[in-house]
């Protein structure tokens, strides 16, 4: 994976999986609720490539420092994982 996306504006919209599927969005499940952010590709970071294992390790290290290690966080999790830009940039290839 390469590059970064940035928010175009603050806030988000809420859609059901059925709403999104009807708009042609792939990989959504009916009966689920989705928060959808308006984003755009950030050309400043277009050449950045990420080491997925290093990104994950930085997430885990941050969670350990905060004393809260999330379990089972992936696509179906209601809990977001957050990593600051400075930490993320340390995981560039």
pLDDT digits (tens, 9 = 90+) for 68-77: 766 655 556 6
| DSSP annotation of 46 | T
Could you tell me the pTM of the whole model? 0.63
Q: Above 60 in pLDDT, residue 91? A: yes
Nearest CA-CA partner of 5 in 43, 57, 50: 43
- What does the pLDDT read at residue 70? 64
- What does the pLDDT read at residue 22? 93
Q: Which residues, including other chains, have CB under 8 Å from residue 83's CB and lie 6 or more apart? A: 55, 58, 59, 62
Q: Domains of the chain: which residue ranges?
A: 1-47, 50-93
């Amino acid at each position: 994976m390469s590059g970064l996306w940035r928010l175009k504006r603050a806030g988000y919209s809420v859609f059901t999986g059925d709403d999104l599927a009807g708009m042609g969005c792939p990989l959504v499940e009916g009966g689920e609720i989705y928060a959808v952010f308006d984003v755009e590709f950030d050309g400043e970071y277009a050449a950045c490539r990420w080491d997925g294992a290093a990104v994950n390790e930085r997430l885990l290290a941050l969670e350990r420092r905060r004393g809260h290690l999330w379990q089972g966080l992936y696509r179906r999790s209601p809990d977001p994982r957050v990593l600051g830009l400075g930490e993320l940039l340390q995981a560039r290839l």
